[in-house]
Amino acid sequence: MVLTSVIALVALMAACSSASESAADGDGGDNTGGGTIAVTDGAAELSAADIAFDANVIQAVAGEAFTITFTNNDSAPHNVAIYTEEGGEEIVVGDVIDGGATTEVQVDALEAGEYFFVCDIHPGEMSGSVVVEG
């Protein structure tokens, strides 16, 4: 039963992302709803627009704290939160910010592994993985 719901959810998410991709066509963005950003010198930049993050993978280095500078280019409020996994324990929960605002989310050093990041307000549309290597 659980597997069936997961498959249904994945199918639903796929339908949503392809719909938003076609809506964004002509915008010049080939990676809407996808993309990878890497933490460089302890910093990464993430943004949101059209109820989507501009990346679904954040690559970080094990054992090194980093800061996500999050800019909300949307009309809706968003935040960035990191959990051990979807529905797992909270690692850091960034402030919810309105469109046009920017906030910094300080992330303590993580062990190697894969974590889950999400906008707590739009968990169905806005999430991705924090991949920590090193």
When the beta carbons of 19 and 112 are compared against Cu ion, the nearer one is: 19
**C-alpha span between 112 and 4 (Å, rounded):** 30
Evaluate whether 24 touches 96 at the Cβ level (below 8 Å).
Answer: no
Name the residue type at position 98.
D
Binding residues for Cu ion, rule: CB under 5 A, are 78, 119, 121-122, 126
Residue nearest to Cu ion (CB): 119
**Residue 87: CB minimum distance to Cu ion, A:** 17
Residue 88 beta carbon to Cu ion: minimum distance, rounded to whole angstroms: 19
Minimum CB distance to Cu ion smaller for 34 or for 64: 34
The CB-of-13 to Cu ion minimum distance in angstroms stands at: 15
Which single residue is written with the structure tokens 């930049």? 45
Question: How far is the C-alpha of 98 from the C-alpha of 76, rounded, in Å?
Answer: 6
